[in-house]
Amino acid sequence: MREGFPTIEKFESFRPEDAEKLSEITRIREELLKSEALPKEAKDALSGLKVKEKSKEVFEALETHEQERETIGVNEEKKEVRIGRELTPIFEGPKEKLGWQLQAEQFREEGQTMVELSFKRNDGVEVKPGGVARGKTRFGEHERYLPLEEYKSLKKENSKYLAAMEKMTGGNDEERKEAEEYLAEFKKQHPNSEWVLRAMRHLNSLAVHESCETLERDPYFVETPHVVETMEKFTRLVNRQRERGQGIVILEGDAGTGKNKIVDHLGYLTKRPLFRFTCSAGKDEQDLKYLLEYDSKKGTYRIKSTVIEALETPGAILEFDEINTLKPEVAKILNSLFDHDRALFLGEDRTRVKAAEEVVMVGLQNPQHYMGVKPLTETIKSRARIMEVTYPPFEKEKTNPNEPTQYRSDEALIVRQYIPELKDLDQREFQILWDSVANKREDPRATELLTSARKERIEDVQEVVEMANKIREAYRAYHEGKSDEPIKFVFSLRESVECAFELPHVELTAEEKKKGMTRAKKAVQEVILPKIPLGEERTYLQSIIAEL
């Protein structure tokens, strides 16, 4: 037994093929313990060999070994993100000083002109004394109504007051004494309003924030092994673009493969603001420059386009959605932006808009070889790195044609979030159950987690994902001209999620069960078929579902 399994005492050196032998070791151990010919000393040694406990260590060790390749890690201390094996920095944008100004609204009261005070920041945030801001009452102990003359006096003395406060902390002895006398006299003359200038000084000392908001994490985005693998390659191409200071990375894939989500998640991880410009055949040069807004008082006026706003924002990700749909004359304008110039030249005067520090360019498009998809212009193609984004793989590649098919859990990890029996499992626990149910692997940890309800739902999910992949194969075959069967509907990840939502509500009649209908098939039919008009395509889809 030791010759066939040499690592029995050193579980940290187990290979995947070693782990598969654990159940065989258990069987042999039990047979040897029953043997009358085996000496008592040998039986005692075998009795002390805790294969089940050690097997847990094996599986956990193997998981740890694979973890770095299949996970994403954020190191806040080093300000970097590890995506698979690719490192990329967390962007630290410039801080913008936001100053506060004293504002006043006049009104008459008992024959006297009064003002109502407020503090207004130059980004539009306003705080009124005694008012509630972010759950706290600000300056609630002070009166915000002052006579107009008192307000004017405060405005006039503000710069002198601030200079005196600075001398109190940074001046020499003589300057401090002079400032102390001034401040004492000022407080004596303005006993009910001196607090206003003190509050202004305090607010301005705090008024620093990041210049642009970044994305929040999508709570339903799952970092599956396939997602990590895709994002690792995408990040590597983005890093190359950053290092060279030119180019654009274009993600090419079917609708619903998660192209937008991948870009969003990179923005979230690296704290980069995202700007999305939707391309179309109707977009002209002016759409790259400005947008038109209407206001009942101002009338029609121009504001900066998404493209210009992104180029002026350090660290931004500028995404051109459906970039292949741009007209050639508009796409040509982007040449200099994707070249080492990293700038747009717009209008008759060729106004130059230079990209700010660390701005990243990304494009999205559907597969170019599909029928009806407009090809990407050659001018952009020559400046781009194009990367394919696919649906999550389902069947694992076989190293031996005789071995049983193994199924990947990537898509199942996404849809299980929407199934009551499975959503409370963490990603590691679900993977253990998936391997136990879908791949028929023996894992002692599955025993503690697997219930009959969870087993049924995992089998349902496996069937949904299998149908999704069969329909996608038919869709690709038609659009690549390899099949005459018309499939224009794409079974995206959105449809998979809808089917998962539907599963708990499916009820089968006795007649349906007799005909071979399953919960998964009925869920897919109820979600998919109503989206397809009656005719040849719908009939063909029904046949695909029925044949599984």
* Structure tokens given for 541: 């889809």
Q: Can you give the pLDDT at residue 46? A: 65
Q: How many CB atoms lie within 10 A of CB 50?
A: 9
β-strand partners of 103: 118
Distance of CA 116 to the CA centre of its chain: 45
Separation CA 246–CA 234 (nearest Å): 16
DSSP annotation of 253:
-
Distance CA 56, CA 495 (A): 36
Residue 499, SS3 per DSSP: helix
What are the residues facing 317 on neighbouring strands? 274, 360
Distance (Å, whole) CA 399 – CA 486: 34
Show Cβ contacts of residue 414 under 8 Å, excluding neighbours closer than 6 positions: 220, 222, 224, 392, 493, 496, 497
**Residue 32 near residue 38, CB atoms below 8 Å:** yes
The rounded distance, in Å, linking the Cα atoms of 201 and 538 is: 70
- What are the pLDDT tens digits along the chain (548 aa)? 333 333 334 444 445 555 556 666 677 767 777 777 777 777 777 676 666 666 666 566 555 555 666 789 999 999 999 999 999 999 987 766 778 888 888 999 888 999 998 888 877 778 888 755 555 555 667 778 899 999 999 999 988 998 998 888 887 889 999 999 999 999 999 998 998 998 888 888 776 665 567 889 999 999 999 999 999 999 999 999 999 999 999 999 998 899 999 999 999 999 999 999 999 999 998 898 887 776 666 677 777 899 999 999 999 999 999 999 999 999 999 999 999 999 998 776 678 899 999 999 999 999 887 777 889 999 999 999 999 999 999 998 877 878 889 999 999 999 999 999 999 999 999 999 999 999 999 888 999 999 999 999 999 999 999 999 999 999 999 888 898 888 888 899 999 999 999 999 999 999 999 989 999 999 999 999 999 988 999 999 999 998 87
Instruction: Give the E-state strand segments of 15-142 in sequence order.
Output: 72-75, 80-83, 86-89, 95-97, 100-109, 112-121, 126-127, 132-133, 136-137
Backbone phi, psi, residue 489, to 5°: -90, 130
d(CA 501, CA 526): 11
**pTM higher than 0.75 for the full model?**
no
Backbone angles phi, psi at 251, to 5 degrees: -90, 125
Axis crossing angle, helix 519-528 with helix 536-547, rounded to the nearest 10: 160
Q: What are phi and psi of 351, to 5 degrees?
A: -60, 130
Q: What is the pLDDT of residue 50?
A: 66
Six token digits for residue 449: 């987690």
- CA 269/CA 406 separation, integer angstroms: 32
Q: How far is residue 261 from each of residues 219, 221, 227, 239, 371, measured CA to CA in Å? A: 12, 8, 10, 19, 25
Cα–Cα distance for residue pair 164/186, rounded to 1 Å: 11
Q: What is the DSSP letter of 404?
A: P
CA dist., res. 100 & res. 121, Å (int): 4
Q: Which domains are delineated in the chain?
A: 11-70 (no CATH), 86-91+213-388 (3.40.50.300), 97-209 (no CATH), 410-547 (no CATH)
User: Under a CB-based contact definition with an 8 Å cutoff, are residues 545 and 521 in contact?
Assistant: yes
